Amino acid sequence: MPGGVNSPARAFGGVGGEPIFFVRGEGAHLFDIDGNRYLDYIGSWGPMILGHNHPRVLAAVQAALARGTSFGAPTEAESELAELIIEAVPSIERVRLVNSGTEATMSAVRLARGFTGRDVIVKFAGNYHGHVDALLVAAGSSAATLGVPNSPGVTRGTAQDTMVLAYNDPASLERAFAEHGQQIAGVIFEPVVGNMGCVVPTPQFLTALTGLTAKHGALLICDEVMTGFRVAYGGAQSLFGFSPDLTTLGKIVGGGLPVGAYGGRAEIMDHILPAGKVFQAGTLSGNPLATAAGIATLQVLRETGVYEQLEARSAQLATGLAAAAKDAGVPHTLARVGSMMTLFFNAEPVTDWTSASHSDVSRFARYFWELIARGVYMPCSQFEALFVSAAHSSDDIEATIAAAREALVRLA
């Protein structure tokens, strides 16, 4: 495997050292190949909102497994998961299941271009939308110039139709539409950013996004791969009260198995083949095992008081981590929305990639390993959000705060 891993986020490039190999998850804990136990705040990078090996999810997958692993044909489970998604997210009238969040964003971007007949997609620096060629771009020379590739293998021709702006900057978005409005097919954004750390949108930014796209006939694509069913059952759009044209989902919607989805208004979604002409297909889309896990997860989230518990535990952790950093004299900012948060080693407010990049990544790396030594497994990058699960108890949170307090004292 290149670098010994199947995804670069697992290589500990942001903290140094060797990645930890795991053999089992149970509730709020992970167990490595050497028998060590860790309180897990990654949760497979977000999907494990109920914790590892939840009995209802496990039973659903086992039952589906007994019936067959893949048919390449329609199943009732696909429709059931689609209905749950549509019920939860009012802006989605039609939905198409795919295999990953990357497939969802790739397909949504293609659909936006096919629906509008335009080429340019706007994205924001520090927002990650999967490894789609058109979205792996860096900012141009000014706030409203087209992007350039930031990965070998991404052609300039692919990147030239992507514009990169600053997050939480309504003025730059207004300038972009003033100069290029007739060429912009859509704007894709994370409603709560998780891949430059947890960054919260301002009300002014959300107002600009919805107003400018509607005014200029562009589609607003809300990337809720991370936030969907995480920050609220209806996603960040229900929490903040806006309605995008298209929404992308992943992670929790698959209950820990590979599932993605994209959906939106019927008039837009009906442009997808076979209803329309925009191509998208997948042999394993709507896989029986994956849909079973997703259905079970969403049913538990819908039927129980999981979100109230998540809010209480997350507030407890956020308060404790911030207090521990303050008492240790470590410059910091803590950002949280629901059960996702980041302790930034950065004294200034973090509102975009520029401010996030001022964080002390060296100090974070030392913090990470101090926590590992105390049995706490946090994201291995300053620029990744951590996730609390329904399996974390109040005692687990207090143990985490105590470990963080010891670690932070050693960093001061």
What amino acid positions are annotated as catalytic residues?
128, 223, 251
d(CA 188, CA 14) in angstroms, rounded, equals: 26
How many residues does this entry show for the chain? 412
Q: What are phi and psi of 138, to 5 degrees?
A: -105, 165
Q: How many CA atoms lie within 13 A of 110 on its CB side?
A: 18
| Contacts (Cβ under 8 Å, ≥6 apart) of 265 | 91, 93, 94, 245, 246
Question: Tell me, what DSSP letter sits at residue 383?
Answer: T
In sequence order, the β-bridge partners of residue 334 are 343
Q: How many CA atoms lie within 13 A of 368 on its CB side?
A: 28
d(CA 403, CA 260) in angstroms, rounded, equals: 35
User: Helices 361-373 and 394-411: crossing angle, nearest 10°?
Assistant: 130
d(CA 146, CA 87) in angstroms, rounded, equals: 37
From first CA to last CA, the distance across the chain in angstroms is: 38
Q: Is 260 helix (H, G, I), strand (E, B) or coil?
A: strand
Q: What are phi and psi of 105, to 5 degrees?
A: -70, -40
- β pairing state of 22-26 and 29-32: antiparallel
Q: What are phi and psi of 29, to 5 degrees?
A: -120, 150
Q: How many CB atoms lie within 10 A of CB 241?
A: 8
Here the tokens at position 254 are 């698959």
| Contacts (Cβ under 8 Å, ≥6 apart) of 392 | 28, 39, 51, 313
Here the tokens at position 8 are 């670069």
- β pairing state of 120-124 and 184-189: parallel
| Closest of 328, 322, 386, 332 to residue 359, by C-alpha | 332
